[in-house]
A and B are shown apart, each in its own frame.
Chain A
């Protein structure tokens, strides 16, 4: 065991001196979070505000136009419907309104949009909101004139009562959707960037043979390398949490949208994530070291690793959408590698993680880590794999 730690210590020393590791595994996840939060915040704000949104209207004197102006829309007159439609077709106008003559107390308005233009759809939603407010105001006035109680406006009143399940402090929807994916991805990619050097690179540089000639057992060498890589993988995955913390505490752009209720990652959630990620990082490291051992050189290792990365990417991507289904709360999900960790990280962020699924997830990752370790040690004992250069 002494030699295992000795190998691990040396590998960590080398890794932390490598600029690629420092930037790729630790700085990039933090920067990515800062950029993503900033960008998402910007988009949410941009989509949510009416200010400056142009609404093209076929020449009209309807008082409704005043309601649009009050809602900070920029009303642009066009002479004819044909002229307005041409502007919509060319993308110069998002939405064209033609306010027609009142008929039986109803004011018909044609809203002309390009269904394939997303900004047009956003403008339509905003216009619909203004129209709904105007409708409600008109109904309210009618009810007032006829002495009908205002409450009759809504024949059925739906009152939403939110139950508190799990921890009070929990992360917002966007963080819950994004963070499990990033934590998993960085656990893999943070380690993937350096693993090529770990065994395949040593074969290439002829340092592996020197290592094999020492009394250190091959198990000890493999274990040392896996432990060192696991540390990098774990720290890289947790860098995303650090990024979230920095954005939240420093109130960087986008934080007001993403962290309405504060940081949102409770100490319990952070601890659960750590407990989940330790075996997952170990599992990833075992796969990565096995691939690196099989490859002749670091370039060949990177080629294999790119293919292997899809195995991680697919469940990680699916984890972003599992919250939209009922599968997230089923037990069998906890037996699917990677997806189980991502789902439990998601539940931890929501303050809903429970013991049994977390333990299942840890057990699955540990079993896979042991399999990966055994395969790697076997490869280290196969001279045709080890000395082929």
Chain B
């Protein structure tokens, strides 16, 4: 379970001015469902996920991940999550297997427990062919499969995906989305951040629309369409973020 209550983050920029990146975001993501964070680039999705994964601290509000408060029990939160984004890189001078084992060690796995999990993820993500190859030599799709293997190695109950398919080809995107669906079916709590409407429609049970750091709407895909009276999620989204095209403005 992931719960946020009025979660906010204010950064101080180089001119010492307060910049509100996220303001009063409240939502709940439940086990066995995919919760989508939908917003344009710079809307505050990544900042929200960074707060949930304890990389940065909220300036107001609270959040709970897998039953642990992000500020009071950050270590327990980190042990309970898997995080993957399209920009997450691998260590180029290590092989796929070495990267996976390295993260296994960081998650406290060792000995047989580690080897069993490594074997599981290698089989699951079908890494056999390139498991001993340096990550620098892998294709984008292969890297993404290793990234997923790293993310699920410690079998976390909560998974965060930050635009995981951005920049990927159709086949690799499909692999990632199938994996996310499978994780949902296995009862994981999934928070999925994206700006791609089709992915949201396919994957998400519930969504929250974030714009300029604020929650502009939340509910099911159909619920948001009904709420806005629009036929497509894209139009519902634009209505909720009060988008006016340059043409309309003039």
Which residues from chain A sit less than 8 Å from chain B, CB to CB?
A: 3, 6-7, 10, 13-14, 17-18, 205-207, 209-217, 383-384, 386-387
Contacts and interface: CB of A to CB of B under 8 A. Distances in A.
Contact of A215 (B50, B75, B90, B91): B75
Contacts of B75: 215, 217
B89 interface: yes
Given A3-B106, A6-B105, A210-B83, A13 B78 contact: no
A387 B55 contact: yes
A14 B94 contact: yes
B93 A206 contact: no
Contacts of B93: 13-14, 17-18
A14 B91 contact: yes
Given A213-B83, A215-B79, A217-B75, A10 B94 contact: yes
B57 A10 contact: no
B102 A207 contact: no
Contacts of A213: 53-55, 78, 81, 83
A14 B55 CA distance: 24
B120 interface: no
B108 interface: yes
A6 B110 CA distance: 11
A383 B21 CA distance: 14
Nearest to A214: B106
A387 B94 contact: no
Contact of B55 (A17, A216, A383): A383
B186 interface: no
A216 B109 CA distance: 12
A224 B55 CA distance: 19
A17 B94 CA distance: 9
B106 A6 contact: yes
Contacts of B79: 215
Given A205-B89, A210-B150, A212-B54, 19 more contacts: A3-B106, A7-B106, A10-B98, A13-B93, A13-B98, A14-B91, A14-B94, A209-B55, A209-B83, A210-B88, A211-B106, A213-B54, A213-B81, A213-B83, A214-B103, A215-B106, A215-B108, A217-B75, A386-B55
A116 B238 CA distance: 82
Mostly, the A contact residues are helix
B83 A387 contact: no
Interface in B82-126: 83, 85, 87-91, 93-94, 98, 102-103, 105-108
CB-based closest 6 A-B pairs: A214-B106, A6-B105, A205-B89, A215-B79, A17-B93, A383-B56
Contacts of A13: 93-94, 98
Contact of A206 (B50, B88, B105): B88
A313 B47 CA distance: 42
Interface string B39-79: 00000000000100111110000000000000000010011
A212 B53 CA distance: 9
B170 interface: no
B55 A215 contact: no
A206 B89 contact: yes
Given A6-B106, A212-B55, A213-B83, A384 B94 contact: no
Nearest to B101: A10
A204 to B, nearest CB: 9
Given A17-B93, A213-B55, A215-B108, A6 B87 contact: no
B94 A3 contact: no
B12 interface: yes
Nearest to A386: B55
B138 to A, nearest CB: 14
A13 B79 CA distance: 25
14 contacts: A6-B106, A14-B91, A206-B85, A206-B88, A206-B89, A207-B88, A207-B89, A210-B89, A211-B106, A212-B54, A214-B78, A214-B107, A215-B78, A384-B12
Contacts of A217: 75
B87 to A, nearest CB: 5
Contacts of B98: 10, 13
A129 to B, nearest CB: 59
